[in-house]
């Protein structure tokens, strides 16, 4: 079973690349954003709880997020593996994911980070903002704030996975095909 964490700042192309890898390796793609939206839309107990935090402008506690992800993973007992996109975002989430997957005898094999300079990402997100209808994709100061949040709170996961010899960095600049080829090369290595 190949379980990977696809990692990188906003606009780096995680979702796009996850779709290719999912099809190529017959994996299950779990996007935290999709899981949240699904739970909230369907008024699940965890969705209602998460929404109560979000409605107040608060971050959803790790415990709620982890419980949602565990429920999602348990829906796919016969998968070849998972691509986690947008999770984990903190060291405590990474540790909880490790405990959960190790108990199932299906550990994370790698964290693959797409590496793209911030100025290129800002341009990508502003372009995406022309069609996404997301206010946070249309304002450069909000975009740069998201990068700051990523750098201060999420990028520390690189150290966590490096300590386990599971961290791989991939150049995320180029055509979709070039980036996919780079990812496949890394993916085939483990």
Residues annotated as part of the active site: 14, 89, 128, 134, 146
Q: Is 183 exposed, middle or buried (0-12, 13-18, 19+ CB in 10 A)?
A: buried
The partner residues of 169 in beta bridges, in order of sequence, read 113
Adjacent-strand bridge partners of 29: 83
Please enumerate in sequence order all residues whose Cβ is within 8 A of that of 42, keeping only pairs 6 or more positions apart, or say none.
Answer: none
């Amino acid at each position: 079973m190949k379980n990977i964490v696809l990692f990188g700042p906003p606009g780096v192309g995680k979702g796009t690349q996850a779709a290719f890898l999912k099809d190529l390796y017959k994996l299950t793609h779990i996007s935290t954003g999709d899981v949240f939206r699904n739970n909230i839309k369907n008024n699940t107990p965890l969705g209602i709880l998460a929404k109560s935090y979000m409605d107040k402008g608060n971050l959803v506690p790790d415990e709620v997020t982890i419980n949602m992800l565990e429920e999602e993973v348990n829906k796919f007992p016969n998968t070849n593996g998972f691509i986690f996109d947008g999770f984990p975002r903190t060291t405590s989430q990474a540790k909880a994911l490790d405990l959960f997957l190790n108990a199932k005898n299906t550990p994370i094999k790698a964290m693959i980070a797409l590496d793209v300079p911030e100025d290129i990402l800002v341009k990508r997100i502003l372009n995406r903002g022309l069609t996404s209808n997301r206010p946070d994709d249309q304002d450069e100061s909000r975009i740069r704030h998201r990068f700051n949040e990523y750098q201060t709170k999420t990028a520390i996961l690189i150290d966590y996975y490096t300590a386990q010899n599971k961290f791989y960095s991939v150049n995320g600049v180029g055509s979709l095909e070039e980036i996919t080829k780079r990812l496949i090369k890394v993916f085939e290595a483990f």
